[in-house]
Structure 1
Amino acid sequence: MQGHGHGQPAKRPPHTAVLVLVRVLFVAAGFLSLGFLAGAMQLRLALVTRRALDWALFAAVLALDAISVALVGSDPTDDVETVRGNVGMCLLFATLAAATVYYLVAEIRHYGRRAREFAAHRPVPAPAPAPAYGYPGPAVPPYLPPATPVPSGMPTPPPSAPHTPVPGPPPVVPPSHRPAPARIDQVRAELDELSDYLRRQDGRTEDGR
């Protein structure tokens, strides 16, 4: 018993500029021929999509163009003034307009769907494997400053030794503030004067008694 196997990979759609150029050429051919080549657009669409509906519409456009040509050709006047000639021209232009609109819409949808399918089936690049546990990753070279170019004729300076930081002096601790001796002596003198003043007041009080 065999399996289904892998599906057919999605094909890359043509470039957008190429598709626009092809559409312009087919639409211009239909209008420049006054609708007699309207079936070319439907044939192009049927070959691209390969759907039974588009092949059936291609056959219908050919039939309508043949009827229009027959009606216009049966008009005996040179300016297409009879009813049959007018009906044939109207049918021809209506077929051209319908075929142009359907061709543009159907082809744009077809290639838009193909672009989405191609984007969905496009392989995504696998990420780089992470280093296994216990093994170092890729070595990263240390950063080196760019060398200064030396003018020609001048001696090359010797490489400088690595800079070693020099310890600075120890921090200076400010001395603690202590009351000056002069302040103590002043307070002591003021206390002595106050004591003398009080003794004199006491002596005067006893004399007055």
Structure 2
Amino acid sequence: MQGHGYGQPVKQPPHTAWLVLLRVLFVALGILTIGFLAWAMLLRLAAVTRRSLDWGLFVAVLAADILGIVLLAAEPGDDIHTAGGYTGILLLLGALVATTGYYLAADIRHFLVRQQAYRAQQQAYQAQRQAPAYGYPAVATPYTAATVPTMPATPTAPVHPVPVHPAAPHNPPVVPHPPVPRPPLATPPPQRPAPARIDQVRAELDELSDYLRRHDGQEGGR
């Protein structure tokens, strides 16, 4: 298995000394030409930032410089004494001042943001390289091995295997039937002695009485 891929490092911006030298060179070119080449600063800025706003400003400054040069060229004589000549001078000087301020601010901001992004991505790239690859354990350094204490392993009780009983055959559950209530047994009425039994006892008593009378009579005759 392979680890995570590493992103390509961002292109490092130019050195600060080189950027300062370019800024001084383009600003000096605009000032020494009294604004005739002020558009060169915006041309470099638009080529670096590649923004539509900077390209639009470059076209506007270039048009202003061309118009100023045309008005100055139409001035009769060597001295400036007409409204057209003064307008041409104002266009050149105004474009020079505005272009210089905007060029320096935009160029410094652009490369400052680019430098910060480069540092952040470099830090992320280094952290990604130091992270352990997927599927491989991290290698402990002597520093981490000496400073991180290791906890002793606690003894664990042996695990006994649980016996597995074979499953009983599947029988349908027996549903108990509710008991059927039985009617209570009728208690028989008390039985009266049969009349024949009473008559038999009475007869026996009569016979015994007759026997006693006869026995008494015989004793008296003697």
Instruction: Please confirm whether the aligned pair reaches a TM-score higher than 0.5, indicating the same fold.
Output: yes
Change beyond 3 A, Cα 1:41–1:7: farther
Instruction: Say whether the 8 Å CA contact 1:68–1:88 is kept in structure 2.
Output: yes
**CA drift at 1:9:** 4.3
Letter in 2 for 1:79: D
**CA RMSD between the two structures:** 2.5
Residues in 2 aligned to 1:131 and 1:76: alpha-carbon distance in whole angstroms: 83
Superposed CA deviations along residues 110-160 of structure 1, whole A, max 9, x for unmatched, are: 00010010011003263893269xxx88xxxxxxxxxxxxxxxxxxxxxxx
1:105-116 to 2 correspondences below 5 Å: 105-116=105-116
Per the alignment, residue 178 of structure 1 pairs with none
Per the alignment, residue 94 of structure 1 pairs with 94
Q: Does 1:32 align with 2:32?
A: yes
Among 121, 140, 163, the residue aligned to 1:130: 140
Change beyond 3 A, Cα 1:21–1:85: same
Residues in 2 aligned to 1:131 and 1:81: alpha-carbon distance in whole angstroms: 82
Superposed CA deviations along residues 62-112 of structure 1, whole A, max 9, x for unmatched, are: 100011011111110312121110111011100011011111000000000
Residues in 1 aligned to 2:11 and 2:51: alpha-carbon distance in whole angstroms: 18
Per the alignment, residue 23 of structure 1 pairs with 23
Identity across aligned pairs (percent)?
52
Equivalent pairs counted in the alignment come to: 130
Superposed CA deviations along residues 143-194 of structure 1, whole A, max 9, x for unmatched, are: xxxxxxxxxxxxxxxxxxxxxxxxxxxxxxxxxxxxxxxxxxxxxxxxxxxx
Per the alignment, residue 84 of structure 1 pairs with 84
**CA drift at 1:13:** 0.7
Instruction: Say whether the 8 Å CA contact 1:43–1:58 is kept in structure 2.
Output: yes
Residues in 2 aligned to 1:6 and 1:99: alpha-carbon distance in whole angstroms: 42
Structure with higher Rg: it is: 2
Higher RCO, 1 vs 2 (CA within 8 Å, ≥6 residues apart) = 2
* Structure 1 runs, 4 residues or longer, greater than 2 Å off: 5-10, 123-129
TM-score, scaled to structure 2: 0.54
Residues in 1 aligned to 2:141 and 2:26: alpha-carbon distance in whole angstroms: 58
Per the alignment, residue 67 of structure 2 pairs with 67
Letter in 2 for 1:71: L
